[in-house]
Amino acid sequence: MDKFKNAGAVITGAGSGIGRQLALKLASLGASLAISDIDQDGLDQTEKLIRDLNSDAKVVATSLDVSNREAVFAYAEQTKNDLGTVNLVINNAGVALSSGTLIETSVDDFEWLMSINFSGVLYGTKAFLPILDNASWGHIVNISSLFGFIGVAEQSAYNASKFAVRGMTEALRQELELANSHISCTSVHPGGIKTSIAANARVAKELTEDDTKLREGFEAFAMTTAESAAEQILAAVLKDRRRLVLGMDAKFIDWVQRHFPNHYQKVMQWFITRALAKM
Ligand SMILES: NC(=O)c1ccc[n+]([C@@H]2O[C@H](COP(=O)([O-])OP(=O)(O)OC[C@H]3O[C@@H](n4cnc5c(N)ncnc54)[C@H](O)[C@@H]3O)[C@@H](O)[C@H]2O)c1
- Average pLDDT score over the chain: 93
Among 5-14, 103-112, 163-172, 255-264, name the one with the lowest average pLDDT: 255-264
Look at ligand 1, atom 23, and give the residue with the nearest C-alpha: 13
Alpha-carbon span 93 to 195, nearest angstrom: 13
According to DSSP, the β-strands at 202-203 and 193-194 are unpaired
Alpha-carbon span 234 to 244, nearest angstrom: 10
Q: pLDDT tens digits, residue range 20-51? A: 999 999 999 999 999 999 999 999 999 999 99
Predicted confidence at residue 55, as pLDDT, reads 83
Compute the average pLDDT of residues 200-225: 77
Atom of ligand 1 nearest to the CA of 96: 43
Predicted confidence at residue 262, as pLDDT, reads 87
- For the question of residue 158 being annotated catalytic, the response is yes
Q: How confident is the model at residue 207 (pLDDT cuts 50, 70, 90)?
A: confident
Q: pLDDT tens digits, residue range 57-113? A: 899 999 999 999 999 999 999 999 999 999 999 999 999 998 789 999 999 999 999
**190 Cβ closer than 6 Å to some ligand 1 atom:** yes
Atom of ligand 1 nearest to the CA of 39: 37
pLDDT above 80: residue 210: no
Predicted confidence at residue 276, as pLDDT, reads 62
**93 Cβ closer than 6 Å to some ligand 1 atom:** yes
Predicted confidence at residue 199, as pLDDT, reads 85
- In three-state secondary structure terms, 278 is helix
Compute the average pLDDT of residues 213-239: 88
Atom of ligand 1 nearest to the CA of 147: 6
Q: How confident is the model at residue 279 (pLDDT cuts 50, 70, 90)?
A: low
Q: Which fold has domain 2-278?
A: Rossmann fold (3.40.50)
**13 Cβ closer than 6 Å to some ligand 1 atom:** yes
Query: What's the predicted TM-score (pTM) here?
Result: 0.96
Look at ligand 1, atom 40, and give the residue with the nearest C-alpha: 94
Q: From the candidates 75, 123, 158, 264, which is the catalytic residue?
A: 158
Q: How confident is the model at residue 270 (pLDDT cuts 50, 70, 90)?
A: confident
- In three-state secondary structure terms, 117 is helix
Q: Are 89 and 7 in contact (CB under 8 A)?
A: no
Predicted confidence at residue 223, as pLDDT, reads 87
**222 Cβ closer than 6 Å to some ligand 1 atom:** yes
Q: Please state the φ and ψ torsions of residue 139, each to the nearest 5 degrees.
A: -150, 135
**196 Cβ closer than 6 Å to some ligand 1 atom:** yes
